[in-house]
Amino acid sequence: MMRSALACAFALIPLAAPAQEPTPNALYLDGDLAIDVRPDGDAVISWRTLEPTPPGTVSYGGCPADADIAQPRYRWNSTNLDADSGPSTAHSVSIELTDLEDEHTDIGRYAANGGGTVEIQLEAWSPRFNQAQLFPARFAYRRDAGGTYRRVPAITIGPVVDCVTERSAIISWETDLPARGQVILAPLDGAGEVITETTQGVVRGAEIEIGGLPPGTRCNYTVQLIDPADDTALPGRELSFTTAPRAGSNTPFAFAFMSDSRAGVGDPMVRVERVNYTTVRRLMAESLRQGADLMLFAGDLVSGYTASRRDFVNQLNAWREAAMPVSGLMPIYEGMGNHEALGPSREDNPNRIGRSHTGSDAPEAVFSEAFVNPSNGPAAEADGAPMYGETAYSFDWGNAHFVSVNSNYWWDSQPGREGGGNREGFVMGGQLAWLDQNLRDARSRGQRHLFVYTHEPTFPTGGHLGDGMYWRGRNEEVNRMRDEFVRICSSNGVLAVLHGDEHNYSRTLITSDMPTSMEGASEETTASTAVRPMWQIISGGAGAPFYSQDFDAPWLEHVRSFSPQYHFVLFEVEGDHVRLRAISDTGQVLDEADLTAELGE
């Protein structure tokens, strides 16, 4: 997203549902949920579906007030008011807000606060997909001294902390109703003064950059919306984050890495708007518990591959919703994967898309609107090509430097045809040149540990030998690109290239003598172009359907560890050492290594 140097706010315009959405898409609802809070404490929730469906159920509850990682807890449910009328496109449910204030179930202090945020979840059956669909949401209400209830603005996504540096951070949020908002931030241990920043007017969303923060310091903050009816501040949950250590310093820190949280297989919670909501939320929470200060997420957040912009936005918003318990407590740096694809359907197969849109409908543009990342990446590859936006960028954290590379830029299922477009896994020349210079600059500033993360694996180990950056070694243009990517990273002293795409975990040591050619390949070189050894870490286990190991990979002997389990990877950086632990969704340590010691650094 775009932002000013100090503070800015912007109005979010809801996407109007067109009469006919282009296919393919995964749309179910025709627009957003409508919520009417009645004076007596009843709230009517209404929705429309794109096809006649059976009655739905809304569960409701709240977040425990004492939770340090806030997640909804549902306590009651209510079924359609028209439950006996059969399939319909119009549905409504009535819930009682007084349930939340009952002394036996008031976990969110609704009675004492005279209201608060209500967590709801719609469950409905889709005849089109022949499965249940879930839609989490929230709204807020107030009860006055006379016992009259009314709806007030609620934060629907956020607060989120992003782009954290040693001196600044960006706090953002979105709301269901227009409202002014303010951020109140206080560094702990008396390290700085209390800072208050307010949005510029009544808005549906805001990004506020707060500067003047002390390095390496825990900061508490609260976002408060202003009730437009009486200009009073509504209660907000207190959150906290840690600013980055001084660049180049040896202050210890930890970061988490994961990718591939697109829809799984099984119960409805693993496919909420085409996101494995349960798994990615659990892994994110555990990474925070394990001490991560920041997180890298290298693509395939969602299932994507849609012709509908509205569908793509809905999917990205579902991922943002799943990340909410953690994204306000540490910055998450997102990258694009091959499933973040948005474009027109193919002429020969209308059920599949053929190439990416460009301009404002390019997936890179929509992705950059949804997330807040640094905007210091390369220029567009050609006239008429999409801007990279906030999908390729870099930043420092302590003595480390991180670079996000977009290996699915300007995707086309038939690359090389008229009008441009790019092969999956192919890093184009402009971005490669930018990467080389970026790493050189980081090394010249004295950054000790360099990490490059991108979705497509350099050397696949389980599921993607036929694409990624390899394509079974049978495409000479891809081979030359991969060789150049490896040369750039290794010659600049990159410690590890971090990938997703394969729904498993692996750790591979890339060396100059590592074989890269398999039978039928057309490679000019048969060994890696690594100038010096570096690690490849693949972590694609955030919820997508699993892959097993490929035992015919030419570099099999260089694969030091492999697991198909859901997991995340925790990197602990301390001075000259970087240690790795791969941790499953059940807490099992799948792998651990001192990456620097094993390279003799």
Q: What is the DSSP string of 445-503?
A: TT--EEEEE-SS-SS--SS-TTSTTTGGG--HHHHHHHHHHHHHHHHTTEEEEEE-SSS
Which of the listed residues 152, 170, 205 is the one where a domain comes to its end? 152
For residue 527, name the pLDDT band (cuts at 50, 70, 90).
confident
238/361 same-domain check: no
What number of other Cβ atoms are within 10 A of residue 13's Cβ?
Answer: 8
> Can you give the residue range of the structural domain that contains 205?
7-12+157-242
Q: What is the mean pLDDT of residues 68-86?
A: 85
Say which residue the tokens 């006649």 belong to: 52
Using CA atoms, how far apart are residues 393 and 379, in angstroms rounded to an integer?
11
Which of 163, 168, 181 lies closest to 1 in space, CA to CA?
A: 163
578/485 same-domain check: yes
231/286 same-domain check: no
* Number of structural domains in the chain: 3
Residue type present at position 418: E
Using CA atoms, how far apart are residues 534 and 139, in angstroms rounded to an integer?
49
Q: Read off the CATH number of the domain in which 113 is found.
A: 2.60.40
223/261 same-domain check: no
Close Cβ partners of 315 (under 8 Å, ≥ 6 residues apart):
26, 273, 274, 275, 301, 302, 303, 304, 306
559/438 same-domain check: yes
- pLDDT tens, 323-351? 999 999 999 999 999 999 999 998 888 88
Q: Regarding beta strands 449-453 and 494-499, do their DSSP bridges make them parallel or antiparallel, or are they unpaired?
A: parallel
559/415 same-domain check: yes
Whole-number pLDDT of residue 287:
98
Whole-number pLDDT of residue 540:
98
| Continuous segment of H or E residues that includes residue 40 | none
5 pLDDT exceeds 80?
A: no
421 pLDDT exceeds 90?
A: no
Torsion over CA: 82, 87, 92, 94 (sign): positive
Q: Read off the CATH number of the domain in which 313 is found.
A: 3.60.21.10
Say which residue the tokens 């919670």 belong to: 269
Close Cβ partners of 316 (under 8 Å, ≥ 6 residues apart):
301, 302, 366, 367, 370, 371
409 pLDDT exceeds 90?
A: yes
Task: Compute the mean pLDDT over every residue in the chain, rounded to the nearest whole number.
Answer: 92
Indicate whether 405 belongs to any domain: yes
Q: Are 49 and 31 in contact (CB under 8 A)?
A: no
411/515 same-domain check: yes
Q: Are 469 and 485 in contact (CB under 8 A)?
A: yes
DSSP letter assigned to residue 426: P
321/219 same-domain check: no
Whole-number pLDDT of residue 14:
37
Whole-number pLDDT of residue 417:
76
420 pLDDT exceeds 70?
A: yes
CA 166 to the chain's CA centroid: 22
What number of other Cβ atoms are within 10 A of residue 19's Cβ?
Answer: 5
Which of the listed residues 107, 133, 152 is the one where a domain comes to its end? 152
- pLDDT tens, 171-219? 999 999 999 999 999 988 766 678 899 998 888 999 999 999 999 999 9
142/206 same-domain check: no
13 pLDDT exceeds 60?
A: no
Whole-number pLDDT of residue 23:
78
Indicate whether 23 belongs to any domain: no
- Residues forming beta bridges with residue 508, ordered by sequence position: 536, 559
Close Cβ partners of 335 (under 8 Å, ≥ 6 residues apart):
259, 296, 297, 298, 299, 391, 404, 405, 406, 453, 454, 455
Q: What is the mean pLDDT of residues 26-44?
A: 95
Report the interhelical angle of 429-444 vs 476-491 (nearest 10°).
10
9 pLDDT exceeds 60?
A: no
